[in-house]
Amino acid sequence: MLAGTGSGCGKTTVTMLLLSALTQKGLTVAPCKAGPDYIDPGFHKAVCGYPCYNLDRWLMPEDALLLPLQNGRDITVIEGVMGYYDGLGGTDFACSSYDLARLTDTPVVLIVDASGGAVSVAATVKGFMSLVSDSKIAGVIVNRASGERHYQLVKQAVERYTAAKCLGYIAKQAEIELPSRHLGLVPAEETENLHKRLFEASQSALETLDMDGILALAKTARKIQAPAPPALPGLTNKRIGVALDKAFHFYYQENLDALSRAGAKLIFFSPLSDTRLPEGLDALYIGGGYPEMFKEELSANLSMRKSICEALSDGLKCYAECGGLMYLGKAIDGLPMVGFLPLECEMTTRLQRFGYVRVQDETGLCFPAHEFHHAKSTPLAGAHLCYRVSKASAPESAWECGYSKNRTLAAFAHSFFAFDPALTRRFFL
């Protein structure tokens, strides 16, 4: 695991450079991401040519955390989330990177930002290692070093005052400048010359990182024995249309895998460029993404909007999350969308909801989820809201969401249903 001292220390940059360097060495790499992120996994997949799996203790049972680690690849690299010990509030470290490393017995490399410091960096490392008796931190990568001499000063101090081994550095000039927008980095699908930029940056990383030391540390991880995932009955030979393009690409890979394992055939299509839904669908799945960034193109694709609206009106089963909810409504910022659900969405300048939540469904199902959006929805006449959503860290804070109409269910909450047969039936059968 590559973990950070806090957000902004450079762990995503270091992770991508290491993934690229390992791939260039001819290794098959399995990337994973701690937490409910969608954007970083897109970069990981682009670098490694292999799907990135999320590992999130709030959303997933412990068995689900182990399954992606039993992958047959040469090495698995997990990018941590936020600061190493930061999780679901309090001091029990729930849902933190440390919690995940402890549960999976994964050795950890701590990424430290050394800009403006040298010997003092050792104090940071020592603090992280001594906070708990078994921190899992075994190595350090020094980020934003001004050069070899700066790195050596940090290395000598860290290895004198702590038991961690320094495993190289990333120079300030090696950082990859990636554009951002309101939910984080601009996705890999929209980043120009990504592979060229990563290849060039990782050339210097191959020279400044201790690749042999990193691989040696990875070999100390215990073997994973993951139980078989539960069967998801009723999906054999079902044709599920999955929206996938620049506007809709926020999916947990394990959810897609679970549908395929259950015998469903996933039919990918683009609401941006295709003219109508694929033929013969049994269900529809529209995930999150950035429909607000492509609202003009989505609105202009009238034939696709009409095809979806007619199919849902005729009773096609549909499950939509966040961006999918926005697309199925009447409008986004006044631009017409599918128009099936009686709601309108508008973009705001701040986050409307952010964090882990628990969902109580009107059918009696209760499940964990995550929300992260700037959009605000306004129910219109005839809207039926079927979710009661409460914050995980403050259950007294609750609100209504979840629009239900015919056989369509749509909500802002992102869910992990791969290990929950009842939830999968609710969404797709």
* Catalytic site positions: 322
CA pair distance 425, 419, nearest whole angstrom:
12
Length of the chain: 429
Task: For residue 92, give both structure tokens.
Answer: 């029990």
- State the maximum Cα–Cα separation within the chain, in Å, rounded to a whole number: 70
Q: Residue 364 and residue 380: Cα distance in Å, rounded?
A: 25
**Nearest-angstrom CA–CA distance, 325 and 159:** 52
What tokens were used for 125? 């490392």
Secondary structure E strands in 35-88: 53-55, 75-83
| Interaxial angle between packed helices 148-161 and 120-130, expressed in degrees from 0 to 180 and rounded to the nearest 10 | 40
Closest alpha carbon to 17 in 141, 149, 150: 141
Q: Do residues 65 and 416 make contact, with C-beta atoms less than 8 angstroms apart?
A: no
Contact 100, 69 (CB under 8 A): no
Q: Which two tokens stand for residue 226?
A: 């993951």
DSSP string, 339-393: --SSEEEEE-SS-SEEEEEEEEETTS-EEEEEEEESEEEEE-TT--EEEEEEESS
For residue 349, count CB atoms less than 10 angstroms from its CB and return exposed for 0-12, middle for 13-18, buried for 19 or more. exposed
Instruction: Give SS3 for 170.
Output: strand
Nearest partner of 331 among 347, 308, 319, judged by Cα: 347
